[in-house]
A and B are shown apart, each in its own frame.
Chain A
Amino acid sequence: GQQLNQSPQSMFIQEGEDVSMNCTSSSIFNTWLWYKQDPGEGPVLLIALYKAGELTSNGRLTAQFGITRKDSFLNISASIPSDVGIYFCAGLWEYGNKLVFGAGTILRVKS
């Protein structure tokens, strides 16, 4: 299958700071999804991207579908304590028929 490399693995930031994380692959993807998972719960869909270059926001979250179609980025502005959790990227490979997930970015926020 096609792999997604998600980075960073973890982040420990100060409340109020902006956060950036990304997902990359050597293969082309047609769809990128970003999820957030709180401890003991299932992942929640944050943003879905379908076109190269697409930039979509959801409140303080902004995600972009890379122009090469091999990467995607998620930014969180002005982080708050409830942003804590694991963020997953997921993609649909151009020749695939199921989602591929990244390993996740663990976000911790110091208040």
Chain B
Amino acid sequence: AQKVTQAQTEISVVEKEDVTLDCVYETRDTTYYLFWYKQPPSGELVFLIRRNSFDEQNEISGRYSWNFQKSTSSFNFTITASQVVDSAVYFCALSEADAGNNRKLIWGLGTSLAVNP
């Protein structure tokens, strides 16, 4: 069973629209971390944010914001006033503190965002 689900495979918006990328995760651990990465068309993977399971405060960084809700096991990412440069594939990932799993990130399959002028 997939532990990180990004249900939106592709999203297309027009510039200046707000867009939310969904991430739902499954874990039995009480201590875990959630990440978002961006992969622009050039191909590199860029770290955006890390959130630990004990910090449910929402995070805002410029036009980017993240909504972490443990009650729904979601860690959603919103881009406000989207721009063409936001076009990329966005990945959500989970790491668990359990001794057997603590070496790796569990990745979602990504959401491809196209922002059209």
- Chains A and B come from one and the same complex: no
B interface residues, Cβ below 8 angstroms from A: none
